Amino acid sequence: MVVLTGAGMSAESGVPTFRDALSGLWARFDPQRLATPEAFLADPALVFGWYLRRTRMVLDVAPHAGYRALVRLARLRALQVVTQNVDGLHARAGSKDVVSLHGSLLHYRCTAGGHPVPLSDILALTGGPRVLPPRCGTCGSPVRPGVVWFGEPLSEAALARAHAITAEADVVLVVGTSALVYPAAGLPHHAARHGARLVEINPEPTPLSASVDIRWPEPAGTALPALAAAVLARDS
């Protein structure tokens, strides 16, 4: 079983979904325009401030019952999590070996050399909502969040693993994603071409909905614990 998650997976933990993520100073910006290398070049303090606020926010919340249900399910069935999320909540809930397609809000690096910067240095920054990115201690280039922006390539290793895993899956649970952003949105179709059944857990329909075998229009925090309980009941 492969579980492909998106921002809706974290909504019940209190993390706004990507397309709901803008408030305050950023409310008048389109997130698709902020999450780009061009936006960072044009207004580094605006973009860095947005990421710093979101980094602090994800550290302040906890994985909900749906996350814990995936950890229980992984004890009952071979299960691999592939996530588009950058909040680290799967790992914090106890999921092992998560494939992260879009990087992490908890890892920062410099723009020129990719030198890692300790998260504690980032969290020590003061001010806001606009925050000038610090400079790398090694090469002096501006520091950026370790996420994948629009127009940037995903990690080749992560994407290759996601393709390999989904090609072998019997079932892919697609949880809390609008299925709009590629190449991640292509993974369920790739799995289906290789014989997997698709289950979509999302209160709202998406462009993927017409292609799935089962649509389960409930929040992740309800559906995933119910699924784990059903599998456990079947096994006992």
Query: Using CB under 6 A as the criterion, which residues of the chain lie in contact with ligand BJW when the complex forms?
Result: 6-8, 11-12, 17-19, 35, 84, 86, 102, 147-148, 150-153, 175-178, 180-183, 201-204, 206, 219-220
Of all residues in the shown chain, the one whose CB is closest to ligand BJW is 8
Question: Smallest distance from the beta carbon of 118 to ligand BJW, in angstroms?
Answer: 20
Which residue's CB is nearer to ligand BJW, number 17 or number 168? 17
CA-CA-CA-CA torsion sign (188, 155, 161, 10): negative
Question: Smallest distance from the beta carbon of 235 to ligand BJW, in angstroms?
Answer: 25
Question: Smallest distance from the beta carbon of 170 to ligand BJW, in angstroms?
Answer: 22
Catalytic residue among 64, 90, 102, 107: 102
DSSP string covering 167-198: HH-SEEEEES--S-STTGGGHHHHHHHTT-EE
Q: Would you tell me how many other CB atoms lie within 10 Å of the CB of residue 222?
A: 16
Which residue's CB is nearer to ligand BJW, number 59 or number 168? 59
Q: Mapping DSSP to helix (H, G, I), strand (E, B) and coil, where does residue 64 land?
A: coil
Please, is 230 exposed, middle or buried when counting C-beta atoms within 10 Å of its C-beta (0-12, 13-18, 19+)?
exposed
Which residues are known catalytic residues? 102
